[in-house]
Chain A
C-alpha cells in the first residue's frame, strides 16, 4: 500500500458527484482511492491495527454521510484527511492518550542543539538496522508528530494541506515538523555515536 499520486481535482469532483448521485460502485471506488491515506493517518496515531481498521471504517462512513457538505474548496484528500484525523483525535481523547506530548512544545532545545549535519546518512540509508532504529524512534514520537511525518514524508502533502487536515496554523505545523525531525536526528546521532 504505497503512497499514491493525488488524484486530479476534476477526477475527484467526478468521483464525488457520482457518489452523491448514488452511482453503483462509485463509493467503493472512492474508498479504494483514499483508503491508503486514511490508514496511514489513523494507524500512525492510534498504532493498534484492529482499532485503526475500525476507525478507517468510521471515517469513510462519516465521509459518506456528510459528502454533500464537501464544497470542492480544498482538495478532496485534505477534506478526507481532516475527517480521518479528527476521528483519530477523538479516539485518543477517549483513551486519554496525549496527542501532543509536553516535550513537543516545551524547551527541549538543549537536546535539539546537539543536532549535527555531518553524519554519513547516505550509508545509513542502506543500513537496515539504522532504518529500524529510526522506525522505533518514530514510534516514540507523539501521535500528532507521527501522523505529521507520515503526511509530509510519505504522502508528500504540503504544509498548507497538513494545516488544513490538522486544523492548525501553518506555523505550528512547521514547528512540529522541525521538532519531530530534530528529535529523530538526535536519537540516530546517539546510536551512531555508540557504534563508533
Chain B
C-alpha cells in the first residue's frame, strides 16, 4: 500500500474544491446572452457616433461662422482675386485659415480611409475569428 503524501492530500483537496465549485447550469447566463449584449453595445456605439458627428458638425459650423465674421471682407477679396484676378493677395490670416482648413479636411479623409481599410481587412466570418 502506498503512503499518502502531503502533496496527494493537497491534490485531492483541490479536486474536491473544483468539484464543489461546479455550479448548477440553470443559474448561468441565458442562451442568446452574447447576441443581446452585442446588440446593446452596437446601439450604444451608434448613439456615441451620432453624438460625435453632431459635435464635429457643430464645431465646423462654429469655425465657418467665425471665419465668415472675422475674415469676411478678406475672404471676399480673396475670392475676387481668384475669380477676377484683381490686385491685392490674401492676408496672412486668410492664408493660415485656409491651411488649417485643408489640414482638417485631409485628416478627416485619411481617418475615414484608414477605418474602411481596417474594416475590410478584418471582414471575416465572426465564428472563425
Residues of A within 8 A of B (CB): 1-2, 11, 14-15, 17-18, 20-29, 31-32, 35-36, 39-40, 43, 49, 53, 56-57, 60-61, 64-65, 117-119, 121-122, 124-125, 130-132, 134-135, 138, 149-150, 153-154, 181, 184-185
Contacts and interface: CB of A to CB of B under 8 A. Distances in A.
A117 B19 contact: no
A149 B29 CA distance: 20
B20 interface: yes
Given A57-B37, A185-B13, A131 B127 contact: no
B124 A53 contact: no
B12 interface: yes
Contacts of A149: 17, 21
A49 to B, nearest CB: 5
A26 B125 CA distance: 8
Interface stretch (B60-68, B88-96, B98-106, B115-123): B115-123
Given A31-B33, A31-B37, A154 B21 contact: yes
Contact of A61 (B15, B18, B44, B115): B44
B12, B16, B23, B118, most chain A CB atoms within 10 A: B16
B123 to A, nearest CB: 6
Contacts, number: 128
B25 A1 contact: yes
Contacts of A43: 23, 27
Chain B interface bracket (under 10, 10 to 19, 20 to 34, 35 or more): 35 or more
A11 B41 CA distance: 22
A131 B13 CA distance: 11
B111 interface: no
B124 to A, nearest CB: 7
A125 B19 contact: yes
Given A14-B129, A23-B126, A28 B27 contact: no
B41 A60 contact: yes
A131 B16 contact: yes
A49 B25 CA distance: 11
A67 to B, nearest CB: 10
Contacts of B21: 135, 138, 149-150, 153-154
